[in-house]
Amino acid sequence: MKWIIFFAIIFSFSTANSQRKLGAKPTDSGGKLMAEQACFDVKFYDLNLKVDPAKQSIAGMLTVRATIVQPTEWFVLDLDTLLSIQKITEKSINGETVRSYERRGWKVWIAL
């Protein structure tokens, strides 16, 4: 059975906190996917950002549309540790559901 999941992740961070210091380890990306990341097929990403130079802040919302291709209990995404999550919701024909999640380093584990 295939599932289509829509997630909206609302996040924000301050540019004062987001500046990397020289000598900091760069973001780790690419490479082999974890089983929890390989179990879904992303069909669509939409990232909306609001930049406020006066407050030196950036806020935004990410919408992900994906099809689950292997059974899983988690939907795992990469997210920089400097970004904070306000909430994660799943939208379906039955309405909107707030999902619980865990931050594990650079990954966000969303319970399905």
Quick check: helix, strand or coil at residue 24?
coil
Which DSSP letter does residue 32 get? P
Write the pLDDT tens digit of every residue in 59-95. 889 899 888 899 999 999 988 888 889 999 988 888 8
Give the helix/strand (H/E) hosting 101: strand 101-104
Would you state the pLDDT for residue 23?
A: 54
**Residue 104: CB atoms within 10 Å:** 9
Q: How high does pLDDT run on average in the chain?
A: 80
